[in-house]
A and B are shown apart, each in its own frame.
Chain A
Amino acid sequence: MVTQIEPYVMLSIVLFVLGVMGVLLRRNAILIFMSIELMLNAANLSLVAFASYWGQTSGQIFVFFVIAVAAAEVAVGLAMIVAIFRTRQSINVDDLHQMEG
C-alpha cells in the first residue's frame, strides 16, 4: 500500500510559491521573515510526503532538524530586527541601504 503523494506535493509547491511572493513583494522585514517560515513549512510538507511514500523515517528526522534550525533562525533574526528597529526606527527593508556598494 503506497500513499498517494501528488496532492501533498502540489500543495507544498503552492505554499512555497506564496512564500516566495511574500519575500519579493512585501517590504516589511517581519512579513518577509514570516514568508520564509511559510517556505520552510512547504518544504517540510514535501519532505514528510516523500518520507511517507518511501516508508522511511529519514525524511521525518530531517523535518525535525529543520524545525530546530528554524527556531534558532527565528530567535536570531527577530533579535536582529529589534536591534535594527531601535537604531533606525524602521524595519522597511528599502530603508536599510547602508551596506549597498
Chain B
Amino acid sequence: MTKLLEQPPFAARDEAAFVAEMNALTAWHIDGCPEYRRVWPAWKPADRAEDLPYLHAGIFKHVLFKTAGAGIEHQRTLTSSSTSGSDPSKIVLDKRSSDLQSQSSLAVLKDMVGPEVRPLLVLDGAKALRQRGEVMARVAAAMSLRPLAAEIHFVLDDVQDAATMNWRQIGDVFRKYDDVLIYGFTWILWKAWATAAIPADVLEALAGKRAHFVHSGGWKKLEEAKVDRAQFDAALLRGFSADSKVIDYYGLVEQVGVIYPLCTRGFRHAPRWSEAIVRNPWTLESIVGEEGLLQLVNVLAWGAPYHSVLTEDMGRIVPGECPCGRAGTRFELLGRAPNVEVRGCANV
C-alpha cells in the first residue's frame, strides 16, 4: 500500500515520492467523497507538501466525510473526547486505514519504548471497549499500544473517579513482571496515579521495576492546575527504576495511529509517512520557525479525507537536524489557538 512504512519511522525519505503518494490519496478522496470534492473543487496535484489541500479539524464535528472506493469497508465511528464541552468529532474507521495506522503506531512506539512485548496497564474501564458502533478516541489511543502488549489490564473502572483504581490488580502485575507499559490520558494519569496515595504493598511491588508511561490527550487541564512536565514525570516515576520513562505523544483523533511523541530534546518528529506543516493563521501560507496553525498530513487515511488536517493547535516548525538523531520534520506543539469571547446579544 505504501513503501514509506517499510523503513524505520524516522529514516530519511524521498520527498517527491511522499508528495506523489499524497497527491494520489487526495485524488482518491476527490473521486470518492462528494463533500470533499465540494470543498476543493479546483484541486490540482501539488508539487510540494505545503501545497496539499487540507480540511480544518473542526469540520469533522459537523460533516461526516466518507470516501467510497474499491476495497474500502467502513467500520465503526470513532468519537473524540471533548474536554471543552463542544460537539465531539465523529470519525469513520475503515479496515484498510486501520491496518496501516496500526503499523504506524507500532513502528513509532517501538522507536520510543523499545520492541519488547510486555504487559499493558490501561487507565480506563474495560466497559469502554464494549460499546457497539462507536469507540471513544481515548480507547482507540490505548489500543494503538496493543501490538506491544503481552496482556492488557484495564485498571480504572471510572475515569471520573480516581478511587476506582484497581491497585490490587496493579500490584499483582508488578509482582509478576519487571517491565510494564502503562497508558492513560494525561489528566487521568495525573489524577489517578501521580497524585494517588499508592498502597504500601503496591509501592513495594513496583519498587525498582521498569515502567514506560505513555500518555496523550493534552496538557490543558494540567496547565489549569499549574502542573508542569517535570512535576508530572517525577510524580509518575516515583519508586520505579532509573531507566523508566514518561512518553508524551500527540496525535489527532482523525489520524489515529500517526503519533508524534516528544523526543529527548523536547521536539516532536513527523514519521516518514507523514508531514507537519505550520501555517500563518491569516494568510494560510506555510511558515518555518514561526508560530502558526499546525497541519498534519499522512499517506494512511483511505476511508475518509483525514489524510490532511489543519488543526486548531499552534505549532512551530524547527528547522535543522535534531540532536536526538531522528530525521523527519521536527516541530514544537504550543497549545490551542487562544480563544476569544463572543460578543453579541442574548442568542448565542
Tell me if chain B binds chain A. Answer: no
